[in-house]
Structure 1
Amino acid sequence: MCCSTEGPLILLWICLCCKMAVDSIMGINSETRNYLLYETFLYYNPLFLLAAMLWLWGINLRVFAAFRINYVKVFDLDNTHLMWKEIWMIASWITLIVLTSMTSYLYLSSKDSHLAASQPVLLYSILPLMLVLPFDVFFVTSRIFFLRTLVRIFLPLQPITFADFFVADILTSMAKVLSDLERATCRMFHGQVATLSWFEPDSTCGSHSIWIPCVLALPYLCRFLQCLRQYSDTKDRTCIFNALKYATSFPVILVSALKYHVAVEIWDGVYRPLWLFSGLINTCFSFYWDIRRDWDLNFFLGLFNSKYPLLRANLLYSSHLICAFAIEMTPAVVHEETFPSKIPLNLNTCC
């Protein structure tokens, strides 16, 4: 993907897909267009976000390499780990595949609804198959390592490794993406692709589905259990408080799900204030933990730091404004993770 001959071809293909997608959208009447865009967003937005996560992770590795940070030792990786160029290559392929499928879906929606409905189904079938393909292709060593890590995350019956914690922590930031994947998969399974039946209030795959809050809570449950496992192994009381941080997300998810199962008056008068209060607790706890524990910053002691007030004495970046900006952005990011979207950002590497 990094070759000079492939770059222009990729850009040309992206431009062609975008042009065809726009023409397909504009060729549909305005009422149907809104439904089509909503459904297209549901099926393809989670996968584009997954690709964006890979692009950003590649940027992280590129920055680590530029600053000569030995991330291989930090992350406890072996010699077969993927470099930033390989991560970007995977992200490029996923981006192109998803974009091509989305363009085909939009183009065929006005011509053959059955053929259009097959596009996201094929996409959601191909990507998992590529991940579990038992052949020595597509970075098989890394794929096996990733699958084993997922098993260890969902079954934390052994000591927690850094990879277990790191991937599980990323999944908590992508909980909304996972819930959208569940909703999209549900609609495909029940034959609701390219139809309007899923707009009905009692739709099996609509907002009333009990599986949506379950999937939202699953990453936090995994991290919660990991913290308990770490406490069992180390007897470090910090693990208990870390587990409590993840536990504060459960009331937010549970009360939010009640919105679709109670009357509007009851929601506005009882559950909505409770939802806001539980979200505030979760946001404040997470913000404190990020600043004090993950970043190892102490505002009170930091006041006496003559070089960088409120920051560490030694910074990764020469400009202290980067760290200050990251700290200011943390409450906003945590707020977005709580109410209710998930953004795969990592600001903890700044300082």
Structure 2
Amino acid sequence: MKSLTSPIQSAMPSPLFLWRFKVVLFLAWGFICCKVGWDSVMRMDANLQNIFIYEAFLYYNPLLLVTMMVWLWGVNLWIFSQSSVSYAKVFDLDQNHLTHKEIWKCSTWMTIIVPTSMTAYLYLYSHGEVSLAASQPVLLYIFVAIVLIFPFDIFYLSSRFFFLRTMWRIAFPLQPITFPDFFLADIFTSMSKVFSDLERSVCRMVNKQVATIAWLEADSVCGSHSIAIPMVLVLPYLWRLLQCLRQYKDTKERTCLFNALKYSTAFPVIFLSALKYHVFPEKWISLYRPLWLLSSVVNSLYSFYWDITRDWDLSNFSRIFKFNKPSLVSNLFYGRKWLYFWVIGSNFLLRCSWTYKLSAHLRHNYLTVFTITALEMFRRFQWVFFRVENEWNKMTRSGVQLTEIPREEDKLLGADNHQV
């Protein structure tokens, strides 16, 4: 019997070939960016290299960290799609919500655009095109803002609207708090350094200090002495504190007050650290640094305790969500006691190190701070699994009527539903 496949169909490349081709292009692009960026840095004067890399790092580090968080969120959704936990029910999402494949598509474009802009910034500055170099981060920030608030039905409008609406509810908790509200606010506490760097970056752009060393002379405006830095660092914790108070008003549960107290312990860590730039060195060493260390210990231990006993409810080490079918993920994680010891141990260590990043007087060690912030993103990535599963278990135990949720593979949105 003759094959019914048309010559055109047989000539088309297979999906596996296309996927491998995209991976090769992606790696080639990454190599070119690294090579051009490194060569550009080597062209600069040795005395200027470290200062300028620090400035370039400031502009692009927030978006690089956001990109990493989006990649990890895609992994969260992928694993949930293989399990019995219905994250769509937990977050009260409609059928048009983004799946892990669409999240990874977004993160792939972010991974391409942000480093490309950074490479262009370094290349143009090292070749004497200072004004063009200064425009690169400015254009990138404007582009990201436009994509986020674009009012037309492209770039996943419904998901962008859901995200912006949730951000509004977080900033102004005037309505009853939903699970997506405090879940995203918790993630924002792990991104407080991102918000702080965004504020400093925008401040320098507004004051026309990009691609110059003029910002060294205006330290009180956008630098170490700026009061805006601790104010922005504390903002996610303040949002979460107000949410807890609003929940107490609605439910009268005392647990909400203890949760609010947990977030309030971050305030002394942030503001005592910022005092280093506003008091005499002797006063800082003798009085404020010991208080800062004490407040850091209290915040770390309280947060760790709350993660284990409240957010995760790890009263015993036998709970981990089931998977719909045997796979590498299920073989690695389902029912494995070592997973709990790893998560608890790493959560404790990273909770302790996170106070380092909240400390304004330590932020000049930018590579160390970037590493700790990236590790905090990974800690939050782990936290998501147990927090969402715990919420799902509460929903099922409470007798909530749950309709059958189609598998992710059966309801993935086609390309015609979104225009990118």
Query: Is 1:330 equivalent to 2:335 in the alignment?
Result: no
Q: 2:108 aligns with which of 86, 89, 92?
A: 92
Moved over 6 A (4+): none
Contact 2:317 2:340 in 1 (8 A): no
Tell me which amino acid in the other structure corresponds to 1:104. Answer: A
Question: Which aligned pairs between 1:1-351 and structure 2 lie closer than 5 A?
Answer: 4=19, 5-110=21-126, 111-200=128-217, 202-298=219-315, 311-316=316-321, 317=333, 318-340=335-357, 342=373, 343-344=376-377, 345-346=379-380, 347-348=382-383, 349=385
What TM-score comes out, normalization by structure 2 length?
A: 0.78
Q: Name the SS of the counterpart of 1:183 in structure 2.
A: helix
Distance 1:84 1:237 in 2: 37
Tell me which amino acid in the other structure corresponds to 1:118. Answer: S
Q: Which has the higher contact order (CA 8 A, sep 6+)?
A: 2
Tell me which amino acid in the other structure corresponds to 2:111. Answer: T
Contact 1:201 1:208 in 2 (8 A): no
Distance 1:257 1:203 in 2: 13
CA 201–271 in structure 1, closer or farther in 2 if over 3 Å, else same: farther
Partner in structure 1 of residue 415 of structure 2:
none
Tell me which amino acid in the other structure corresponds to 2:30. Answer: I
Distance 2:23 2:339 in 1: 31
Q: Name the SS of the counterpart of 2:224 in structure 1.
A: coil
Distance 2:275 2:200 in 1: 17
Q: Deviations over 1:55-81 (max 9, x none)?
A: 000011111112342111122211111
Distance 1:325 1:150 in 2: 32
Q: Name the SS of the counterpart of 2:222 in structure 1.
A: coil
Distance 2:217 2:258 in 1: 42
Distance 1:236 1:164 in 2: 18
Distance 2:104 2:144 in 1: 17
Q: Tell me the CA shift for residue 201 of structure 1.
A: 6.8
Identity of matched residues, %? 53
Distance 1:73 1:201 in 2: 50
Cα RMSD of the aligned pairs, angstroms, is 1.7
Q: Deviations over 1:8-57 (max 9, x none)?
A: 32222222111111111122222111111111111111110000000000
Contact 2:317 2:337 in 1 (8 A): no
Distance 2:354 2:245 in 1: 22
Tell me which amino acid in the other structure corresponds to 2:91. Answer: F
Tell me which amino acid in the other structure corresponds to 1:326. Answer: V
Q: Deviations over 1:235-283 (max 9, x none)?
A: 1110000000001111111111111111111111110001111111111
Q: Which moved more, 1:19-28 or 1:173-182?
A: 19-28
Unaligned residue ranges in structure 2 (runs of 5+): 1-14, 322-332, 359-372, 390-420
CA 48–202 in structure 1, closer or farther in 2 if over 3 Å, else same: closer
Question: Highest Rg: 1 or 2?
Answer: 2
Q: Name the SS of the counterpart of 1:199 in structure 2.
A: helix
Contact 1:197 1:203 in 2 (8 A): no
Q: Name the SS of the counterpart of 1:339 in structure 2.
A: helix
Contact 1:168 1:222 in 2 (8 A): yes
Distance 1:26 1:68 in 2: 52
Contact 2:62 2:197 in 1 (8 A): yes
Q: Tell me the CA shift for residue 292 of structure 1.
A: 1.2
Distance 2:124 2:152 in 1: 33
Aligned length: 339
Q: Which moved more, 1:48-57 or 1:1-10?
A: 1-10
Contact 1:131 1:143 in 2 (8 A): yes
Contact 2:318 2:337 in 1 (8 A): no
Tell me which amino acid in the other structure corresponds to 2:103. Answer: I
CA 334–231 in structure 1, closer or farther in 2 if over 3 Å, else same: same
